[in-house]
Amino acid sequence: MRLTDFKVLTFDCYGTLIDWETGIINALRPLLRNDPAERSHEEILASFARHETAQEAETPAMIYSELLARVHRRLAEEWGIAASDEDHRAFGGSIGDWPAFADSAASLAYLERFYKLVILSNVDRRSFAASKKRLGVAFAAVFTAEDIGSYKPDLGNFRYMIDALEHSGHAARGILHVAQSLFHDHAPANAVGLRSAWIDRRGAAAGPGATPPPPAGVHWDFRFAGMAELVEAHRAELRE
């Protein structure tokens, strides 16, 4: 199997193209300033993952920025830190401030010369529009949780995307799903028969970070440390 076998690259955004863990930690700093506990970044991210996943299951139709405000409230309550409704809303509105990974924009600019580029993300349209400015390309299609009415890893999100792409003339066999989260993306991609490329942004870092642990048996077809490494692999195939 080769990268050049595919016609469409579908991307998770947050964690893959946008450095959401840095964004989450930065957006939580106002809350954490009032926290007497010394929490490591890994502890903070694990708590975020637990509450975000629970809230997505409880309110699958909720707009993501509003859902993040609920997650902020849950974290404040768990940690025993006083926070206002304004504080919760500020965290929910922070998505546009989350930085892109250093290799994202240049890699996407290269890849759009060879592929149809598509987003499948647990986000709302307005929040993604703010992040899109950091990525620098015009995606051929964007499928959000707001559009679909559920959050990954729900298989419905992937089936919705596959159906839409098939209606535009792109068969599932020509799609490669590119993502960081084994839990949100690779496990459901396995279940619906999509090939996938793991962008292993965390590398040697301990634990799964801002995502829950993946289910047993999850697999991928390609593995890269970042988007730049994927681009180099594609260039190497073209040179062969």
Q: Give the span between the Cα atoms of 178 and 13, in whole angstroms.
A: 9
Q: Write the pLDDT tens digit of every residue in 155-186.
A: 999 999 999 999 999 999 999 999 999 999 99
Q: What is the pLDDT of residue 170?
A: 96
Residues 149-154, mean pLDDT to the nearest whole number: 98
End-to-end CA distance of the chain: 14
The reported pLDDT for the residue numbered 226 is 97
Superfamily, domain 3-19+100-239: HAD superfamily/HAD-like (3.40.50.1000)
Q: Where does the chain hold its CATH 3.40.50.1000 domain(s)?
A: 3-19+100-239
pLDDT value, residue 207: 81
pLDDT above 80 for 204:
no
For 20-97, CATH gives: 1.10.150.750
| Confidence (pLDDT) at 152 | 98
- The arithmetic mean of pLDDT across residues 68-83, rounded, is 97
* Residue 206 pLDDT: 75
pLDDT in tens, 15-41: 999 999 999 999 999 999 988 888 999
Given a cut of 90, whether residue 240 has pLDDT beyond it is: no
The one catalytic residue among 5, 12, 87, 154: 12
Could you tell me the strand order of the sheet in which 116-121 lies?
141-144, 116-121, 8-11, 175-179, 195-199, 222-224
CA pair distance 4, 57, nearest whole angstrom: 36
d(CA 21, CA 92): 14
Q: How many CB atoms lie within 10 A of CB 213?
A: 12
pLDDT value for 112:
97
Locate 107 and state its tokens.
């890699």
208-228 tens-digit pLDDT? 899 999 999 999 999 999 999
pLDDT one-digit tens code per residue, 110-151: 999 999 999 999 999 999 999 999 999 999 999 999 999 999
Question: CB under 8 Å, gap of 24 or more: what pairs does 129-135 form?
Answer: 130/95, 130/96, 131/13, 131/14, 131/17, 131/18, 131/95, 131/96, 131/98, 131/100, 134/18, 134/99, 134/100, 134/104, 134/105, 135/17, 135/18, 135/100, 135/104, 135/105, 135/108
| Catalytic residue flag (residue 147) | no
CA atoms within 13 A on the CB side of 78: 15
In the chain, alpha helices (H): 20-32, 41-58, 64-79, 85-92, 104-111, 125-135, 145-148, 155-167, 187-192, 227-239
DSSP state of 117: E
Contacts of 191 (CB under 8 A, 6+ apart): 155, 158
Share of the chain above pLDDT 90, in %: 95
Residue at 170: amino acid letter: H
Query: What is the pTM for the complete model shown?
Result: 0.95
Domain with CATH 1.10.150.750 in the chain: 20-97
